[in-house]
Amino acid sequence: MDYYDLSSLSKSLSLFEERYGLSSEGFYEAHKTDSPAVAKIPGFHRHLWASLYLDVRRMNGSDFVAGVERTLEYA
């Protein structure tokens, strides 16, 4: 069984960034608002890229919800 980790997710994000010429953060902001900047990206790629980006944020601890959960753990 294969598992992904932060390294493999980051590599996948880099591939999307190279292919579409956007940073993952910039893509995600445009994706959330359905900006014309992401209109030509196929729907499946948008979904996958957004999912991978959120997983990386969660694994890095930069996701707001994950931060709240960690804070409340120690309260």
Q: Highest-confidence range of 43-52, 53-62, 64-73, by mean pLDDT?
A: 43-52
Q: Tokens standing for 46?
A: 């948008």
What is the structure's pLDDT at 68?
A: 57
Residue length of the chain: 75
What is the structure's pLDDT at 20?
A: 98
DSSP per residue over 42-66, as a string? -HHHHHHHHHHHHHHHHHHT-SHHH
Express each pLDDT in 4-37 by its tens digit: 888 999 999 999 999 999 999 999 999 999 999 9
Express each pLDDT in 46-58 by its tens digit: 999 999 999 999 8
